[in-house]
Amino acid sequence: MQAVCYGVNPVGWATCRLLRRVWPGCLTSPLNGLRLRELPTPALPSDRWVRVRTLMAGICGSDLSLIAQKQPPDSLLQAFCALPSPLGHESLAVVEAVGPAVEKSWIGRRVCVEPTLCCEVRGIDPPCPRCQAGQFGACQNFAADGLGDAALPPATSIGYNWKTGGAFAEQFVAHVHQLVPVPDELPDELAVLTDPAACSLHAMLRLDLGDVRTVLVYGSGVLGLAAIASLRALGYPGRIDALDVHDYLDAHARALGADEVVRLPAGTAARFEDIARRTGGTVQRARFGNYMLSGGYDVVLDCVGTRRSIDESLRWTRSRGQMVLLATGHGRGADLTPVWFTELTVLGSYGRQIERLNGRRIGTYALVHEMMVSGKLDVRRLLTHTFRLSEYRRAFTVGLNKAEHEAVKVTFDFR
């Protein structure tokens, strides 16, 4: 089978680090560890696993970050990857074969594979406290090496684990626990957006929206746009401002429920003054061109993950407000003074879990499907580009240069 694989070659990685500004194409080349390979069909790790055939697969921001070398060499995430491996964890697939402990009725069913390699998937018994609580996105055994009957190497999810493979391959393997049936009413082009929608919806469900009147979504990419849509799907009636620098995203943000698209000037002082004007706050200047805001938004969602976005998100959140780190950046060097000085609640959000909503317990993927079928959550406009797997270099080039191509979500189409 064909698969797009990634693995770090230290010499090639360092060479691309030096060349990427004069030769951007090096990032999508074999020199950077990215190549289309012919691989054997993956084996089932245990009796409760299945093999699936990929229909469509989304390129996630974390995939692009990996290839673009945005994570530093000492990133903590290195402890949770088993590379080289076929990439891809945003999937729509059909079950092709099942293990002896899995009902044969799964064969031929269209599924989204929830990619998290948690305790149940690994076959670890008893599961960790987080998995017991249904919070498998915060599993404490992602770094487990060979534990459980699946004997998986360390990794957080499918797509970063050589033993499972990933959705940028014609086939990969998954535990039956990871299979979420796709309703017949959902077209493939909407179902493939399940994972990014679920990540944003999960983050919104972590918020306490009880007295929230104003929200700033910092970054109108896939996560930010899906967060806007999720807030509206959950019935949030207050003001949502969407901040980004790319004009082509404005129509998407407004269509999904943003009240205003915010475009800020480049200068620090002017940026703070603009936010103060919008929120009724006041700007306070410290030494050496440092600024603080008294007042601000009730909630700020950081969907960018850079040092600047984290710094500004923390400072633009009102005292005792909520700031959510939804992006997967490391933000090295960010000033955390506002966290304690204004007693902020800072929430991290990663992946999905068993959600609690209106007295129900339901998986995030299944909840997204319900909302999609009902029409409450319609994010199909996010899918802007599709490519065949053989066009992987072009697909990643578009993903790495979204503004140039007016891209939002880029996917592979195997159909």
Q: Is the pLDDT of residue 72 over 80?
A: no
Instruction: List the CATH number of the domain containing 41.
Output: 3.90.180.10
Q: What is the span of the domain harbouring residue 11? A: 2-193+379-413
Mean pLDDT lowest among 102-116, 246-260, 323-337, 364-378: 323-337
pLDDT tens for residues 172-196?
999 999 999 999 999 999 999 999 9
User: Beta 297-302 vs 317-325: how paired, if at all?
Assistant: parallel
Question: Do 145 and 53 have their domain in common?
Answer: yes
Question: Do 18 and 114 have their domain in common?
Answer: yes
Question: Do 292 and 307 have their domain in common?
Answer: yes
Question: Do 226 and 264 have their domain in common?
Answer: yes
Mean pLDDT lowest among 71-75, 100-104, 114-118: 71-75
Mean pLDDT of 329-342: 89
Whether residue 364 lies inside any domain: the answer is no
CA distance 187 to 30: 34
Mean pLDDT lowest among 148-152, 275-279, 333-337, 409-413: 333-337
Q: Is the pLDDT of residue 287 over 90?
A: no
Q: Are 318 and 297 in contact (CB under 8 A)?
A: yes
DSSP 285: E
Q: Is the pLDDT of residue 243 over 90?
A: yes
Instruction: List the CATH number of the domain containing 313.
Output: 3.40.50.720
In DSSP notation, 48-102 reads TEEEEEEEEEE--HHHHHHHTT-S-TT-GGGGG-B-SEE---EEEEEEEEE-TTS
Number of domains observed in the structure of the chain: 2
Q: Please identify, among 298, 332, 348, the residue that sits at the C-terminal boundary of a domain.
A: 348
pLDDT tens for residues 254-268?
999 999 999 999 999
Whether residue 157 lies inside any domain: the answer is yes
pLDDT confidence band for 330 (50 / 70 / 90): confident
